[in-house]
A and B are shown apart, each in its own frame.
Chain A
Amino acid sequence: LAKTTQPISMDSYEGQEVNITCSHNNIATNDYITWYQQFPSQGPRFIIQGYKTKVTNEVASLFIPADRKSSTLSLPRVSLSDTAVYYCLVGDGNQGGKLIFGQGTELSVKP
């Protein structure tokens, strides 16, 4: 399972766009990139998943360059309720579907 590296913490203000970048230099050909969000004392929540280029859903966008060695989660116009820990995970779901969580990025959104 590929190791991921993210910033430990980020600060932002309401209404700003937030981009969180994750490095995964050892990503394998069959690996997907998945992002989860976790609030304190809650289970993680699936945000978005992608394999290459760009993926967008109702809450976020995921940008993946051609070499796939990194990815960027983009949160448009964040609000206070987006304050949470964001985890980037890489895997192909074929190793028993195991997910190995890295340290995550603690995002703090200020008014």
Chain B
Amino acid sequence: GAVVSQHPSWVICKSGTSVKIECRSLDFQATTMFWYRQFPKQSLMLMATSNEGSKATYEQGVEKDKFLINHASLTLSTLTVTSAHPEDSSFYICSARGPREGAANEQFFGPGTRLTVL
């Protein structure tokens, strides 16, 4: 149980285009999902917290107009990288807070999406 999927697993796009990444909780409902970015040989950096039915909360330094997050249902959150540039090339990972009540810090991560902007 507690499986999170991401689509696509990798994407290559031209500079200036927008890319949408989907994150789905397959067998549980996730009111809260998180988006991370990871550059090579670095740790995960939290970008934003996505709450179903409300606006996302962005971490300091993350441009909300560039990284659009929509959490329209209890099983789906999307991250859209708008007007992508080569410096946005990274590994994007989503996670969903686990379904167990009182399970602090238990998050289930998706497999990640490799974005390459040419």
Contact = CB atoms under 8 A, between A and B. Distances in A.
Interface of A: 31-32, 34, 36, 38, 41-46, 49, 87, 89, 91-94, 96-104
B28 interface: no
B interface secondary structure, majority: strand
Interface centre among A31, A89, A100 (most CB of B within 10 A): A100
A49 B106 contact: yes
A91 B109 contact: no
A98 B49 contact: yes
Interface in B91-112: 91, 93-95, 97, 103-112
Contacts of A104: 43
A38 B104 CA distance: 19
Contacts of B6: 43
Contact of B109 (A45, A98, A100): A45
Given A43-B93, A43-B111, A97-B97, A89 B105 contact: yes
Given A41-B112, A43-B112, A97-B32, A103 B105 contact: no
B57 A96 contact: yes
Interface string B77-99: 00000000000000101110100
**B: interface residue count bin:** 20 to 34
Nearest to B105: A34
Nearest to B42: A103
A98 B34 contact: yes
Interface in B38-87: 43-46, 49, 57
Interface centre among B44, B109, B112 (most CB of A within 10 A): B44
A32 B36 CA distance: 21
B114 interface: yes
Contacts of B94: 43
A64 to B, nearest CB: 14
A31 B104 CA distance: 8
Given A41-B114, A103-B43, A104-B43, A46 B106 contact: yes
